[in-house]
Structure 1
């Protein structure tokens, strides 16, 4: 259009300055007289007419295609005609072998919205810009987050709470989308923000909050979720199910994808969920300095103003965990959500109280913690602690080599190369059963001494060729005393033992008092020999 505007300007100037006729102007500029008349009538060239192309091969089938598209208006969204399905039906039912896919695709793309509009429906909804009051609203959602957890590609769930005014968002990863993770995510976000929205928070119809979707906006909420909302003092707004309601919390819908692209590409490589959450906290802090769309202020600047408008947090703590009372099976395990966790073997057959958190499982005997595990992500998986089975292994030492708890202890690094070396030396000296029992006595030392002290004791014992658990115990305690020298007052009359390894028998003899009795004599028995000879 730019070249035609310039041409029109030159024609109009020549007509105005030189007074040339239409024919003379057409000859000078090598254009049709119709073009000259258009230039004299307006400085802007008329719009070009778009030619209407008619597909003669598709023309006989257009009425049929329109009927199919009208029927789609009442069909389920996922069972409507695609362009490929239209083409397939034309081939199968009408023998339209000469019709190409691109022709059908272009026609369907053009006619579908026209037919919907003619029926008083629309395929794409309009949106209205919104303005949010500071501290008034927030949005919550879960998003999938893939990470490399202990060398394995693992799917976690990214909880996101985003304030609608400032765009300040708090993220936290969990191994599950269960209610305990849902509640714990809220508590973490509220703690980070220092308060709760004074009006409402927008949600999908998550099972953690909604037991049943009723007509319209009506929802049947779970009792625990209602108590949680009442405790923190905010209302819940539930969006329409499916894609129809996604735009009602569009801020957090886009936040999940934005956060993943900017902070989780490539996939984070972590050893635990806790380590992953430390990375997410750092990413949230970095996002404080970004600007959303065309806003003048950064997130941190808007958040500094919004922070003071939030409702203060209650002083009482709300229990986000789920309390269960499973029975310990004969393998010294409790089953929680189809995952197995070990407890000390002495609780076999008894019921224990279990607190199921978002990332941890804690077992109690009364108020005493008897086992703590990281939550298992794989259904049917198990988390076993070797220490829980030591009493059983003392009676059944042959079960240790293939014990699942031993496999997991090796994988986690709890069963070290020092333990392996001691076990091998003990079995060589005392046989498989005796050597394994000696190892178990060493493993029992971990209940009272630090792991580093026990390993130092094992190393010292092996240095002098000893596989006695007593020697390991003595050397482990010596190492513990040396490491806590500030808490031990040495006696001035005590001779330092140095690094020399002693046996427990030698140590006991050294502590006995001196024996002042005379040496025994056999002279009285010699008299018996004299009498016999006489």
Structure 2
């Protein structure tokens, strides 16, 4: 094989009026090769075999092609390995080696797989027609701790405007919350949503396009008048815009690693960055206009107006333990003491936990995303504390109880008394009826008078309630007397006369 440098040397020497024999002797090449380089305009010569002899495999090529075509039609996870194909050919009489089968199969897959799956059709969407949704996993530092967050990507297909929002999980309530923020951000929703086959949306996958969507997810779509569409398995190109956005957003927004104190701060920053990007980025089709301009003039007028928030929760039925706790997502939350031992409905939102009994709320907490933690509300245990005041000293819910200043000082003063816990529980028992503010005011008044007993606080509380003037009840106009009755005591003298008779 003649390389480029050798051909250049031959031609330079010939231009110096060197003969073919001299060039051949100097470069140690045959005169035939020198003549070939001088007579041709090519800059390089390479030999390529036109036909590769396969004495053992040629008789089984048709069968091997059929086997490879069958494997190409299967999903990647279900395809047989080349070793298994080789063993099948050996069983049918093939006497050659594995390498010949491997080389042929690799060339065959390179040629046919590119034709079958490597070519796509560009998609176009009308204004307000569809949006695409997907998740990505990103690394950030929250409060100095390296954390992996799940980022929801919602992208309008026509204008290409998008919103990013980070969450600790990919659960269904997070999907609902991401949609609500996106629809408020865009000012409305599209007529169709394009998703992959995520479990929070799709319950069952059938042949072709047929899907069974999750019931709660269908309620979200019904609320916002959306028609959900699921892609084919392993067909990410069907929502290629949001797939490409994942890579673009990672390079643009999440490198270098972002540092924020809270997840709320991160989401606020991401929303502002999405606004700035839309205002400056050129639309990929209408290159003379920005994404924001296309959104405002074409996409936004075609959106379905925002219909208000969907109550996006994930509900499970749990049993409240005898210690007034319910368990969810590896954590425990306190509930009102009256539901201990009963079945309750726990609703998990993206940022909070709410517990209901027959439609009545019995507990509400800020959601915790750690593990094996217990979140208490000490007021849930007040009825139990009234029966067992000794639990105030060592009860776990009361260990770091954040009480108002007056109540906290009264509690400290009563610690020295033998029945201090019982007295303080008596003061706390007045809170459900009188209200926390009234009890706190009575505690402050008792402290100013240097009175620290429960009797003094309850007495001051009662005085404050008695001093309030009774509320006047207005008399309806129809019940007003036209003639006021006159008091005439002389009429009773007539009754005395009758008694004398």
Q: With structure 1 as the length reference, what TM-score do the two structures score?
A: 0.61
Question: Match of 2:365, SS?
Answer: strand
- Equivalent residue number for residue 288 of structure 1: 278
Q: How does 1:38-437 map to 2 (within 5 A)?
A: 38-49=36-47, 73=71, 77-78=76-77, 110-116=103-109, 125-135=117-127, 136-145=129-138, 156-198=149-191, 200-241=192-233, 244-260=234-250, 262-264=252-254, 266=257, 268-271=259-262, 273-288=263-278, 291=281, 296=287, 299-308=291-300, 310-315=302-307, 317-322=309-314, 328-334=320-326, 340-348=332-340, 355-363=347-355, 370-377=362-369, 382-406=374-398, 409=400, 414=402, 426-427=414-415, 429-431=416-418, 434-435=420-421
Q: CA 1:79–1:235 in structure 2 vs 1: closer, same or farther (change >3 Å)?
A: closer
Quote how far apart the aligned CAs of 1:415 are: 6.7
Structure-2 separation of matches of 1:292 and 1:146: 28
Question: Match of 1:250, SS?
Answer: helix
CA contact (8 A) 2:184 2:306 kept: no
Question: Match of 1:430, SS?
Answer: coil
Structure-2 separation of matches of 1:36 and 1:469: 118
Q: CA 1:115–1:127 in structure 2 vs 1: closer, same or farther (change >3 Å)?
A: closer
Structure-1 separation of matches of 2:146 and 2:353: 23
Deviation by residue 1:404-435 (Cα, 9 ceiling, x = unmatched): 4346x57xxx47999988756642x225x625
Q: CA 1:22–1:171 in structure 2 vs 1: closer, same or farther (change >3 Å)?
A: same
CA contact (8 A) 1:4 1:45 kept: no
The one of 436, 443, 448 equivalent to 2:436 is 448
Q: CA 1:263–1:111 in structure 2 vs 1: closer, same or farther (change >3 Å)?
A: same
Question: Match of 2:184, SS?
Answer: helix
CA contact (8 A) 1:162 1:170 kept: yes
CA contact (8 A) 2:196 2:231 kept: yes
1:37 and 2:35 correspond: yes
Q: CA 1:40–1:79 in structure 2 vs 1: closer, same or farther (change >3 Å)?
A: same
CA contact (8 A) 1:157 1:174 kept: yes
CA contact (8 A) 2:281 2:290 kept: yes
Quote how far apart the aligned CAs of 1:162 are: 1.6
Structure-1 separation of matches of 2:30 and 2:290: 59
Q: CA 1:73–1:349 in structure 2 vs 1: closer, same or farther (change >3 Å)?
A: closer
Quote how far apart the aligned CAs of 1:192 are: 0.9
Structure-2 separation of matches of 1:45 and 1:281: 57
CA contact (8 A) 1:325 1:352 kept: yes
Quote how far apart the aligned CAs of 1:313 are: 1.9
CA contact (8 A) 2:320 2:343 kept: yes
Quote how far apart the aligned CAs of 1:395 are: 3.5
- Equivalent residue number for residue 468 of structure 1: 452
Quote how far apart the aligned CAs of 1:219 are: 1.0
Structure-2 separation of matches of 1:425 and 1:441: 13
Quote how far apart the aligned CAs of 1:397 are: 3.8
Question: Match of 1:362, SS?
Answer: strand
CA contact (8 A) 2:134 2:195 kept: yes
- Equivalent residue number for residue 95 of structure 2: none
Q: How does 1:500-511 map to 2 (within 5 A)?
A: none
Structure-1 separation of matches of 2:438 and 2:34: 99
Q: With structure 2 as the length reference, what TM-score do the two structures score?
A: 0.64
CA contact (8 A) 2:151 2:165 kept: yes
- Structure 1 unmatched ranges of 5 or more: 55-59, 90-103, 475-502, 512-534
- Structure 2 unmatched ranges of 5 or more: 88-97, 468-501
Q: CA 1:389–1:312 in structure 2 vs 1: closer, same or farther (change >3 Å)?
A: same
When the two chains are superposed, the root-mean-square deviation of aligned CA atoms in Å is: 5.5
Question: Match of 1:288, SS?
Answer: helix
Structure-1 separation of matches of 2:13 and 2:184: 73
Structure-1 separation of matches of 2:241 and 2:148: 23
Structure-1 separation of matches of 2:444 and 2:250: 47
Higher relative contact order (CA 8 A, sep 6+): 2
Structure-1 separation of matches of 2:396 and 2:251: 39
Question: Match of 2:150, SS?
Answer: strand
Aligned residues: 434
